[in-house]
């Protein structure tokens, strides 16, 4: 029996409030368009929330971890036990994402989607494990379609639970040694970009290591081929954390939450989500462009506008966390900055060029 397709009800953004939002932003006491991207962020969030009064509630970073069978082919210079060690660290609010989530007052969850390790209750890593790591996709598909669907359902369930607790803005982070390999293949397949433009150093490969990684991944694609359905592309070449995050992104859009996208691995999950439901981009803000070579091509493919460009390549959701205060600034501008009428200042909106 064929696997029933997982569906989401993602609505395109309404245009009903567009002119009211533009009027409100353009009539703040400033030259027209002078707050640039901040104005576009406020406008997008206003369209998502269908209100000229914006609200960010219980912002949360969901850190999802899993291991990857493709590591058996020597595509990463790092030992695989770093995955579980870092997951424990993150659950204690350690690492880069723990630091920035605490600094910017973001809630944080640590999720095991498929780490090759048994966590105890004391580790405070939430159990959504499908299996102990994906399979080696140079030999066989990384996941069965049943496993891939279950991972996506898990991601959707995690987001629904947060939404029901009052969260309306979400980001994802990831942890999984070797996960730039599935992300690179997903990028190549979904963006129709040659694989050599998608493969980078990951967590520290030298030039010889990058060439070996490219050879392994090319051989995997030659073995399995290309799929018309993005879901089957994800199942064959993806990872358990990537599938979980993909399901979470789609559910966030269905629930009309603001989704803050992070780096290379997370964007591979967004690429799959976008291939399934292009409307997901209406709910997406790109936090940054990372220093991982392929990331700028991913963003360009989806016509995204990153907020930051700081040469980051850490992942973990750190870029999304760093961009959050700027999104807060856009909300404060919309809600609290005086208008020409309120401040009794001469209206200059007939001069200049709007950025909306």
Instruction: Take residue 29 and report the two structure tokens written for it.
Output: 């006491």
CATH code at position 106: 3.40.50.10210
- Residue 50, pLDDT > 80, answer yes
Residue of 152, 129, 190, 134 whose CA lies nearest to 6: 152
Interval 282-306 mean pLDDT: 96
- Residue 266, pLDDT > 70, answer yes
Interval 326-331 mean pLDDT: 98
By mean pLDDT, which of 89-103, 139-153, 191-205 is the weakest? 191-205
**Is 55 within a domain?**
no
pLDDT grade for 194, boundaries at 50, 70 and 90: very high
pLDDT grade for 196, boundaries at 50, 70 and 90: very high
C-alpha distances out from residue 159 to 49, 57, 91, 327, Å: 17, 14, 18, 20
CA dihedral 121, 123, 128, 129 (to 10 degrees): -100
Interval 99-111 mean pLDDT: 98
The confidence score (pLDDT) of residue 293 equals: 80
Q: Annotated catalytic sites, by residue? A: 316
Interval 259-283 mean pLDDT: 98
pLDDT grade for 2, boundaries at 50, 70 and 90: low
pLDDT grade for 28, boundaries at 50, 70 and 90: very high
**Is 10 within a domain?**
no
The confidence score (pLDDT) of residue 292 equals: 86
Rounded CA-CA distance 110/316 in Å is 11
Beta strands in the chain (DSSP E): 60-66, 107-114, 126-127, 169-175, 258-261, 284-286
- Residue 352, pLDDT > 90, answer no
**Is 214 within a domain?**
yes
The confidence score (pLDDT) of residue 156 equals: 98
The confidence score (pLDDT) of residue 167 equals: 98
**Is 21 within a domain?**
no
Three-class HEC string of the chain: CCCCCCCCCCCCCCCCCHHHHHHHHHCECCCCCCCHHHHHHHHHHHHHHCCCCCCCCCCEEEEEEECEHHHHHCCCCCCCHHHHHHHHHHHCCCHHHHHHHHHCCCEEEEEEEECCCCCCHHHCCEECCCCCCECCCCCCCCCCHHHHHHHHHHHHHHHHHHHHCCCCEEEEEEECCCCHHHHHHHHHHHHCCCHHHCCCCCCCCCHHHHHHHHHHHHHHHHHHCCCCCHHHHHHHHCCHHHHHHHHHHHHHHHCCCEEEECCHHHHHHHHHHHHHCHHHHHHEEECECCCCCCHHHHHHHCCCCCCECCCCCCCCCHHHHHHHHHHHHHHHHHHHCCEHHHHCCCCCCCCCCCCC
- Residue 1, pLDDT > 80, answer no
**Is 344 within a domain?**
no
Interval 94-115 mean pLDDT: 98
Rounded CA-CA distance 310/83 in Å is 25
Across the chain, what does the average pLDDT equal?
96
The confidence score (pLDDT) of residue 204 equals: 81
pLDDT in tens, 121-156: 999 999 999 999 999 999 999 999 999 999 999 999
pTM of the model: 0.97
Residue of 202, 198, 200 whose CA lies nearest to 188: 198
H or E element that contains 232: helix 230-237
User: How many structural domains are present in the chain?
Assistant: 1
**Is 82 within a domain?**
yes
Interval 100-112 mean pLDDT: 98
pLDDT grade for 168, boundaries at 50, 70 and 90: very high
Q: Write out the residue range of the structural domain in which residue 93 sits.
A: 60-331
pLDDT in tens, 206-248: 999 999 999 999 999 999 999 999 999 999 999 999 999 999 9
């Amino acid at each position: 029996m064929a696997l029933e397709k997982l569906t989401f009800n993602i609505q395109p953004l309404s245009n009903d409030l567009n002119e009211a939002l533009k009027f409100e932003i353009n009539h703040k006491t400033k030259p027209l368009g002078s707050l640039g991207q901040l104005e576009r962020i406020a406008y997008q969030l206003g369209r998502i929330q269908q209100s000229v009064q914006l609200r960010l509630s219980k912002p949360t970073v969901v850190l999802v971890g899993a291991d990857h069978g493709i590591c058996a082919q020597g595509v990463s210079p790092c030992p695989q036990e770093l995955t579980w060690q870092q997951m424990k660290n993150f659950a204690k609010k350690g690492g880069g994402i723990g630091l920035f989530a605490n600094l910017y007052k973001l809630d944080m969850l640590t999720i095991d989607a498929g780490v090759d390790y048994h966590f105890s209750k004391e580790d405070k890593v939430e159990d959504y494990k499908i299996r102990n790591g994906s399979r080696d996709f140079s030999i066989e598909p990384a996941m069965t379609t049943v496993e891939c669907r279950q991972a996506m359902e898990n991601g959707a369930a995690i987001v629904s639970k947060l939404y029901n607790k009052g969260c309306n803005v979400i980001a994802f982070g990831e942890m999984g040694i070797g996960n730039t390999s599935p992300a690179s293949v997903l990028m190549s397949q979904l963006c129709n970009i040659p694989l050599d433009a998608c493969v980078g150093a990951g967590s520290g490969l030298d030039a010889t290591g990058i060439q070996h990684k490219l050879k392994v991944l090319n051989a995997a694609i030659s073995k399995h081929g290309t799929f018309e359905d993005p879901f089957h592309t994800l199942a064959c070449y993806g990872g358990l954390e990537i599938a979980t995050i993909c399901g979470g992104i789609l559910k966030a859009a269905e629930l009309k939450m603001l989704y803050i996208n992070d780096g290379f691995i997370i964007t591979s999950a967004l690429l799959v989500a976008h291939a399934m439901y292009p409307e997901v981009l209406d709910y997406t803000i790109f936090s940054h462009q990372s220093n991982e070579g392929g990331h700028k091509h991913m963003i360009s493919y989806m016509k995204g506008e990153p907020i930051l460009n700081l040469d980051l390549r850490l992942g973990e959701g750190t870029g999304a966390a760093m961009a959050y205060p700027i999104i807060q600034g856009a909300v404060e501008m919309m809600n609290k900055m005086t208008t020409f009428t309120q401040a009794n200042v001469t209206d200059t909106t007939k001069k200049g060029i709007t950025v909306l």
